[in-house]
Amino acid sequence: MNRKNFYMQSAIDLAAKGKYTAPPNPNVGCVIVEDSKIISKAYHQRAGKEHAEILALKNLKKKVNDKMIMYINLEPCCHYGKTAPCTKTLINSGIKNIEIAMLDPNPKVRGKGVKELRKNGIKVNVGSCKIEAIKINKDFVTKHEKKRPYIIIKQAVSLDSKITSPNKKWISNKFSREDGHYLRAQSCAILVSSKTIMNDNPKLNVRLTKKKLSIKSNIRHPIIVILDTNLSIDITRFKVFKTKTKKIIFNSVKTNFDKNNNIDFIKVVSNKNGLSIQAIMKILSRDYDVKNLLVEPGKSLLSSFLDKNMFDEIIFYKSTSIVGDDGLETVDIEKTYLNTKKIYQDSAMNMLNDVKITYKPKR
Ligand SMILES: NC(=O)c1ccc[n+]([C@@H]2O[C@H](COP(=O)([O-])OP(=O)(O)OC[C@H]3O[C@@H](n4cnc5c(N)ncnc54)[C@H](OP(=O)(O)O)[C@@H]3O)[C@@H](O)[C@H]2O)c1
């Protein structure tokens, strides 16, 4: 690895530290190098807080000089959002050399940040470690390019392909369930059906400690999204409605904002298969800034997401237990999708006696 890539990879590794706290913002890290040494570093920790490059300048123990090179994995912003434009601070700081891994896919910024820096006499180079940089912000890129969140679908499946069991609370083992909580912790929102709320009464929160997530600030719980076509859920009965977390109930009846209970009811079009998945994805991305979504579906919802090609990863936690005839069978993903080459198996990982299998779409 050449030196440039080494420093940029350091910025990318730092960016990854923000993955549980930075959403819905992108993961951004920054290092400042002088005489081949990293003399300051930082990463973006939370939406509304300082961006990585501003924090790296603050952490710097000496005055900026012409020898210093700043490495950032994402183009600095040049617009007013929750914070002031970073380009202004960089120009005023006196830094003269900036390396950027990739342009910001947000149309408000894309290329404009680099242009402004160059116009003000800063030498800017774009493109080191671009593939790695895109990978770490694949959800942010998807949000801007596809106008929908990056979608991860997750199911726990028995050896005989059942997703419910009359005798057992959980299909998968505790290692798989903990792994699922890491997925929740990095997600902006989690989506389930009315059926899951009524049958399982889940909490849908993150049940990991700060220590496990290696974070100091408060745990960020994902927005809870429920599909309830005819508004048949009694909101006084279920655990999710006892939490302070924002809830969005997509339905075909009404749009109404219940501030007391922190529930947004959003009406969307529906047809015989249910509510429009495309419309819901568009609203989550556009109006709720959801860059990544974790879907925990039963059989019907899984089918709908697959049929509409609305997924980026499907994760099956396959257990070795047999449920038998009384469980609900899931979609035969191997037969219907793997054999028709719509998806491919990306990885398989042992979770003690479960196997975590990740499928991705063939594009
Ligand atoms: N093992 C696992 O990982 C796992 C994960 C999640 C759930 N589950 C289990 O799965 C069971 C539910 O499975 P399920 O197949 O009956 O239900 P599901 O797939 O979770 O959801 C289907 C329901 O979602 C609503 N819906 C709205 N728009 C839809 C659309 N476009 N496409 C599909 N559904 C839409 C409909 O209910 P409305 O008409 O009320 O809107 C529909 O009946 C639960 O009992 C739960 O225990 C297991």
pLDDT at 131 over 80: yes
Six-digit token string for 118? 């160059």
CA 334, 340, 343, 345 dihedral sign is positive
299 CB less than 6 Å from ligand 1? yes
- Could you tell me the distance, in angstroms and rounded to a whole number, from the CA of residue 317 to the centre of ligand 1? 18
- Give the model confidence (pLDDT) of 244-270 as tens digits: 999 999 999 999 999 999 999 999 999
Residue range 40-52: mean pLDDT, rounded: 92
- By DSSP bridging, strand 189-193 and strand 292-295 are parallel
- CA of 142 from ligand 1 middle (Å) equals 25
CA of 163 to the centre of ligand 1 (A): 11
Can you tell me which atom of ligand 1 is nearest the CA of 228? Answer: 41
318 lines ligand 1 (CB under 6 A): no
β-sheet bridge partners, residue 286? none
Residue 64: pLDDT over 80: yes
Q: 128 CA to middle of ligand 1, Å?
A: 44
275 lines ligand 1 (CB under 6 A): yes
Question: pLDDT > 70: what percent of the chain?
Answer: 99
Predicted local confidence at residue 85, as pLDDT: 86
Residue written as tokens 């998806």?
343
Among the atoms of ligand 1, which is closest to the Cα of residue 233? 40
Whole-number pLDDT of residue 33: 97
pLDDT of 209: 95
Tokens of 262: 């922190």
- Number of the ligand 1 atom closest to the C-alpha atom of 200: 47
Residue of 301, 314, 329 to test ligand 1 pocket, by largest number of atoms within 8 Å of CB = 301
**pLDDT per position as a tens digit, 272-320:** 889 999 999 999 999 999 999 999 999 999 999 999 999 999 999 999 9
Predicted local distance difference test score (pLDDT) of residue 355:
97
Q: Which of 169, 192, 196 to mutate to test the pocket of ligand 1 (most atoms within 8 A of CB)?
A: 196
CA 352–ligand 1 middle distance (angstroms): 28
Torsion of CA 246, 250, 254, 257, to 10 degrees: 10
* Backbone dihedral angles phi then psi of residue 224, each to the nearest 5 degrees: -100, 120
Is 53 assigned a catalytic role? yes
Q: What region does 127 belong to: left with phi over 0, alpha with psi -120 to 50, or beta?
A: left
Distance 299 CA to ligand 1 centre (A): 6
Residue 235: name the closest of 269, 265, 190 by CA: 265
d(CA 158, CA 330): 10
The percentage of residues in the chain with a pLDDT greater than 90, rounded to a whole number, is 88
- Residue nearest (by alpha carbon) to ligand 1 atom 10: 298
Indicate whether 362 pLDDT > 80.
yes
User: Measured from the CB, is residue 274 less than 6 Å from ligand 1?
Assistant: yes
Instruction: Quote the mean pLDDT of the chain.
Output: 94
CA-CA distance, 28 to 32, in Å (whole number)? 14
- Look at residue 342 and tell me whether its pLDDT is greater than 90: no
Q: Which of 268, 266, 264, 222 is nearest to 245 (CA)?
A: 222
User: In angstroms, rounded to a whole number, what is the distance separating the alpha carbons of residues 77 and 102?
Assistant: 12
Task: Report the pLDDT averaged over residues 19-27.
Answer: 96
What is the rounded distance in angstroms from the CA atom of residue 19 to the CA atom of residue 27? 6
Residue tagged active-site, from 50, 53, 99, 145: 53
Q: Which residue lies with its CA nearest to atom 12 of ligand 1?
A: 298
152 and 182 in contact (C-beta within 8 Å)?
no
pLDDT tens digits, one per residue of 99-108: 999 999 999 8
Tens of pLDDT along 200-247? 999 999 999 999 999 998 999 999 999 999 999 999 999 999 999 999
Asked whether 278 lines ligand 1 (CB < 6 A), one says: no
pLDDT value at position 185?
97
Q: Cα(257) to centroid of ligand 1, in Å?
A: 24
CA-nearest residue, atom 23 of ligand 1: 193
Closest Cα to atom 17 of ligand 1: 298
Distance CA 236, CA 136 (A): 40
> What is the band of 115 on the pLDDT scale with cuts at 50, 70, 90?
very high
Q: Answer whether 56 contacts ligand 1 (Cβ < 6 A).
A: no
SS (HEC) of the chain: CCHHHHHHHHHHHHHHCCCCCCCCCCCCEEEEEECCEEEEEEECCCCCCCCHHHHHHHHCCCCCCCCCEEEEEECCCCCCCCCCCHHHHHHHHCCCEEEEEECCCCCCCCCHHHHHHHHCCCEEEECCCHHHHHHHCHHHHHHHHHCCCEEEEEEEECCCCECCCCCCCCCCCHHHHHHHHHHHHHCCEEEEEHHHHHHHCCCCCCCCCHHHHCCCCCCCCCEEEEECCCCCCCCCCCHHHHCCCCEEEEECCCCEEECCCCEEEEECCEECCEECHHHHHHHHHHHHCCCEEEECCCHHHHHHHHHCCCCCEEEEEECCCCCCCCCCECCCHHHHHHCCCCEEEEEEEEECCEEEEEEEECC
Task: At 90, list the tokens.
Answer: 């960089």
Please report which confidence band the pLDDT of residue 341 belongs to, taking 50, 70 and 90 as the band edges.
confident
Q: Could you count the other beta carbons within 10 Å of the beta carbon of residue 67?
A: 10
Indicate if the pLDDT at residue 7 is higher than 90. Answer: yes
Structure tokens at 87: 């380009």
- To test the ligand 1 pocket, which listed residue (158, 179, 193) has its Cβ within 8 A of the most ligand atoms? 193
Q: Find the 296 Cα to ligand 1 centroid distance in Å.
A: 9
